[in-house]
Structure 1
Amino acid sequence: MLTVDVHNHFAPPEIIAAARAGDGLDGLRVEVVAGQEYMVHRQGFRWPIEPTFYDLEARLAAMDARETDLAVLSLAPTLLMYWLADAAEAADFALLANNALATFAAGSGGRIVPVATLPMQDTDAAVAELRRAVTGLGMKGAQIGPRMEELGLDHERVRPVLAEAARLGVPLILHPYNVGKRAGLERFYLSNLIGNPLESTVGAAHLVFGGVLDELPDLRVVLMHGGGYLPYQIGRLDHGHHVRAEAKGCALEPSAYLRRFWYDTITHAAAPLRFLVDQVGADRVVYGTDFPFDMGGGPAGEQLGGVKLDDADRELIYGRNAVDLFDLRTEA
């Protein structure tokens, strides 16, 4: 059965080398603790640097071990760099990251499918880089955050980027990012455990309530981490749309837009994954792992093993949905 992982990450070797040398972008540096390298952000967040982030041989070996045929690869979201004050520096970084990822994928024999990162601080630069990445580098879409710092995805500065993705016919992966503290979520790693699904939910809600999905009927959006809380609290959004004037910006009730999104399988439990499939349909669920971060999910058989699915639905989730969504027929 064809297996396509749509949610796994890459770190450019150049960025890691600079951080090791003490000259990392935005103050990035590498620390070694008990033999393990960590990327450390000036804002406080740190994450282990596994060779699979940047070493092609290690990545392909890991894919083999997980019985993954194809991997849709995106930049580690901690490196989105939307917080850089210098828009030109952000554009240069996106150029470097996308070129590095394209080179990485080119050596994989077609098994790694790259998607772009964009300098969202500058709308025109982001649109231009998306166009270059898709038409020049052959990338199959882009990964963006569920917000651009303080701006929601329905903001006028963000909409041209979404419109360009729709025009090009490529999907956008929405992935939370955070390298600092989140008020009220500082302890117990809640910044990730609760904060990441929350951000995905807010990003999706902005697209719905802001009328973006009405305006861009061809826009395709992939939500990570099982869609955050969106599929599980959609009734609350519907109710708010009915009773609150502030929530009437969409043409239909929010539940009507659930199938405008695709959702990865990372729920870390069989029951919510089964609920997700029932709620949105097997044709809107795609296998993902968040590899190689420690909060990632396991191989497809492990994630879906406890979920009752017929063979046709299992085949869709394992890989066929991703083939259609990212136009991977040649690779498949």
Structure 2
Amino acid sequence: MNVDFHGHLAVPAADSLVDGEPGFAGELADERRTHAEVSLALNRAQLARLRPKLTDVAVRLVDMDAMGVDVQVVGPMPMHHPWAGPALAEDLASTVNEAVAAHCAQAPDRLAGLGTVPLQHPDLAVTHLRRCRELGLRGISVSTRVGGRELADPAHDPVWAAAQDLGALVFIHPWGCSLGERLAARYLGNTVGQPVETTLALSHLIFTGALDRFPRLRLVAAHGGGYLPTYIGRSDHAWHVRDDARGCERPPSEYLRRMWFDALVYTSAGLRHLVEAAGADRVVLGTDYPFDMGVDDPLRRLDAAGLDPADREAVAGRNAKELLGWG
């Protein structure tokens, strides 16, 4: 069984809830600062073109067949809106999670869902995390930061504790970039910015000791974990030589084997390195379906990496099946 851990779903009803809200206007202004107008126009055209793939189960299944994917993990298009107050956040989470559950219920033997929670309101987030599990969702998708707070901020500890206790997956998928205008040119806000955001989020979780506090938290990082697995040696060096970098119990590289990463790193050499750094049992397929920064040939790319057959089988589906509790 081949499992794609990285698919997206649009929820128009949730978009309608934020339309006209001042906080959403601010969110769009931030997006304009990190993307040139030509990139924003291309994004709008892409979303319009991809709407059937983002909403129609039948279209999704046809595309999965073409990719050789048996099961896809479907999460909402990142729509976390950390500016939303409690009432709106409640409506957004309920709307999104029920939509994901309904979408996956149309093909329960082929689709597994991830929901969303309002991390800016940790108590409410815990409530919705439990509701996600009641809806049959396997966990949640979160961005790399929550407004001005890092994921590793102790304010989020109740959410991570609940996720750990429930066995819920936490898929870290960047949405936006905090580096601003420096990345506005030539789509660098996505190409460079999103891997940077993931690298920062994971580094905070490691270096602050958050993963020591929650050793059974099941984290899955999109886009191969950003740049962290590639340059983890620098993190280890800092941990060894500087007292101020030693906020975690063990060298940072050891924590790579405490989380999972999707295989969306584009090159055979990159995938081989990811498997070497994290372990073949810590990598899952990921396509970023249906966006243009994703891939539609995940198995061909996996085969091109030339992994040991047992490692290839693990990445293609066995690891994801075990994470999902599938079959």
With normalisation by structure 1, the TM-score equals 0.88
In structure 1, the residue matched to 2:241 is 243
Deviations 1:274-324 (A, max 9, x none): 111122211111000111111012322222132011221111111110000
- Counterpart mapping for 1:1-332 below 5 A: 2-15=1-14, 18=16, 24=19, 26=21, 41=28, 43-44=31-32, 45=40, 46-47=43-44, 48-49=46-47, 50=50, 51-77=52-78, 79-84=79-84, 86-134=85-133, 136-178=134-176, 182-329=180-327
Write 1 or 2 for the structure with the bigger share of helix.
2
SS at match of 1:200: helix
> Using a 3 Å threshold, how does the CA distance of structure 1 residues 13 and 156 change in structure 2: closer, same or farther?
same
For 1:133 and 1:284, locate their aligned partners in 2 and report how far apart those are by CA, in whole Å: 24
The alpha-carbon distance between structure 1 residues 216 and 295, as it changes in their structure 2 partners (threshold 3 A), is same
- The structural deviation recorded for 1:26 is 4.3
Greater alpha carbon shift after TM alignment, 173-182 vs 309-318: 173-182
**For 1:113, what is the secondary structure of its paired residue?**
strand
Q: Aligned partner of 2:111: which letter?
A: I
Structure 1: which 4+ aligned runs deviate by more than 4 Å? 25-29, 40-43
SS of aligned partner of 2:154: coil
The 1-side partners of 2:177 and 2:100 are apart by 22
Q: Secondary structure at the match of 1:173?
A: strand
Amino acid at match of 1:153: L
Paired with 2:20 and 2:230, the residues of 1 have a C-alpha distance of 38
- Following the alignment from structure 1 to structure 2, what is the Cα–Cα distance between the partners of residues 250 and 118? 27
Cα distance between partner residues in 2 of 1:121 and 1:217: 23
Give secondary structure in 1 for the equivalent of 2:233.
helix
The range that moved more, 171-180 or 194-203, is 171-180
Tell me how far 1:205 sits from its aligned partner: 0.8
Counterpart code for 1:90: A
Please state how far the C-alpha of 1:179 moved relative to its aligned partner.
7.8
Structure-2 change in CA distance of 1:181 and 1:228 (3 Å): closer
How many positions carry a matched residue from both structures? 311
SS of the residue 2:261 aligns to: strand
Amino acid at match of 2:288: D
Say which SS state the counterpart of residue 185 (structure 2) adopts. Answer: coil
> Counterpart in 2 of 1:32?
none
Change beyond 3 A, Cα 1:181–1:239: closer
Once the two structures are aligned, what percentage of the paired residues are identical? 40
Deviation at 1:24, TM superposition (A): 3.0
Q: Give, in whole Å, the separation in 2 of the partners of 1:82 and 1:325.
A: 28
Q: What CA deviation, in whole Å up to 9, does each residue of 1:220-245 have, x standing for no partner?
A: 11111111111111111111112223
Q: Distance in 2 between matches of 1:87 and 1:203?
A: 24
Task: In structure 1, list runs of 5 or more residues that go unmatched.
Answer: 30-39
TM-score (norm 2): 0.89
- Structure 2 unaligned regions, length at least 5: 33-39
CA distance in 1, matches of 2:316, 2:264: 13
Give me the whole-angstrom Cα distance separating, in 2, the residues matched to 1:161 and 1:293.
Answer: 29
AA aligned opposite 1:87: P
2-structure distance, mates of 1:10, 1:28: 22
- Aligned-partner SS, 2:200: helix
